[in-house]
Structure 1
């Protein structure tokens, strides 16, 4: 289609702007979700961000952001292209899409996107959670022999010029990816694929139809588009509703994808094992850990994405650049 690369550019820019704005909140979400009862390092999102800046500097909040920034464009591209593709195929008879069909298209989009999402989040979570583990170790619970401390602090990366006690050497996302591929093959990178599917497919199923219908309410007439603040608000509302709805799956995914465990944190074999252990040891409320953070991350992300489409930055770039000659 003529507009697919436009969609791509819009999605890419929206993704990059979005990730930059909300990444620290996402970091807080990962750390809060990984905390176990009785070993809480952070009380809530703000406390987590303040402590992160204090112990790891401002860039500490952006650990793992490079992975996201690199992969967010292909991820959004796949999701949007897939959603458009399924919508076109489902509306072949010329009739308007029913909500069921909208959900089906969203479902297909969610399934395609996990190809990129799973490894991306796998790497991101290792980088985001490293600081929490370090902080947890510094608590004078048990005297650890120094050997233990350094091995799990290896994941910790320090961007500060000052000396940070717990950073013997920096490890990058590429390094973690290499190690995973080396030790566990490609499936190492796809750990938590099931949980990612259980999270992203329902998310798309809820988000896309909800957005389309909220957005319709703001249209002055069926043929005009809704005002851009309405698109933004619809994106925010649909995004945060969908995010909170699938938060339990997100907690499970974060736990399954975390390779380094703190002292006394159990490991899980698969989704069901994880769900039953969390229920047993931490109760149902644990599944809402990080839900506020997630709503705060997702709402602006989708709001911004919808506005980018609305404003049509992609069209502008394509029409006014040498790129348009290549893409034509």
Structure 2
């Protein structure tokens, strides 16, 4: 990738991520409150549905930009022939690129994700107050609470979504005999995202509880398997898949807008 391609990926990815994260924020708030330990109504119900939107907006552009720059760079690095992987190794290439991209993107997103989710689950507290309280009680490390769980959610999600997205695009493109339009790429992204979102909902639920947990508790230590087991033991499968409907809805619509907007806008920056 040359410098112009890097800039195009950065700007297109950032714009796409910002549009989706801010546009679908109310659904994300509903998901967080459904997954929280106190339950949907005690966490705020439908009150203050935009609580936490500021940190979400702040972290969205750099997080998405870092993701797509890393994704495109890794894909081009592993696919020397013009950035296109051979059919034999395409799946592996896309999985490695997606895993690398999520690791980098989460470094930017984690602090804003922590503050955003705490604001969503405590609509009576201001974002600034939550930020100061987190840093005062837990230090800067508190902003990275749940980083392991965020990675553990995002990497499997991307390992499913992006190879499927690339596969669906290739399949559709071959069938019609020419490169897909941006809306067709967006449809492929939506289907891939819904499948990946459903499969990784338990990991998302565990990540939410770890980030919202009171400092010093066993949940706050970030053992994903223990969190999922405790929820399953007390609430069954319904608890483990809490927030599945809003999450899949967000990802379905978001995947359409996010990947479609990226594909549509990237050529304008080249």
**1:15 to 2:17 alignment:** yes
Q: Which residue of 1 is the match for residue 103 of structure 2?
A: 111
- CA deviations on 1:28-78 (whole Å, 9 max, x unpaired) are 000001155xx6638xxxxx99x51xxx3xxx2111111111111110111
Q: Once superposed, what is the RMSD of the aligned Cα atoms?
A: 2.6
Q: What's the TM-score, normalizing by structure 2?
A: 0.86
Shift of 1:5: 1.6
- CA deviations on 1:154-179 (whole Å, 9 max, x unpaired) are xx14xxxxxxxxxxxxx22x332233
Q: Which residue of 2 is the match for residue 67 of structure 1?
A: 55
Q: What's the TM-score, normalizing by structure 1?
A: 0.72
Q: Which residue of 2 is the match for residue 126 of structure 1?
A: 118
SS of 1:63 mapped into structure 2: coil
C-alpha separation in 2, matches of 1:255 and 1:306: 28
C-alpha separation in 2, matches of 1:177 and 1:308: 31
Shift of 1:20: 2.8
Q: Is the 8 A contact 1:236 1:303 kept in 2?
A: yes
Q: Structure 1 residues 65, 231: CA separation in 2 closer, same or farther (over 3 Å shift)?
A: same
Shift of 1:181: 2.3
- Structure with more of its chain in helix, by fraction: 2
What 5-or-longer segments of structure 2 have no aligned partner? none
Q: How does 1:226-265 map to 2 (within 5 A)?
A: 226-259=180-213
**1:275 to 2:228 alignment:** yes
Q: Is the 8 A contact 2:30 2:40 kept in 1?
A: no
Q: Is the 8 A contact 1:35 1:41 kept in 2?
A: no
Q: Which residue of 2 is the match for residue 98 of structure 1?
A: 90
What 5-or-longer segments of structure 1 have no aligned partner? 43-47, 132-155, 158-170, 320-328
Aligned residues: 261
SS of 2:24 mapped into structure 1: helix
Q: Structure 1 residues 224, 40: CA separation in 2 closer, same or farther (over 3 Å shift)?
A: closer
**1:290 to 2:243 alignment:** yes
The correspondence for 1:218, drawn from 164, 167, 172, is: 172
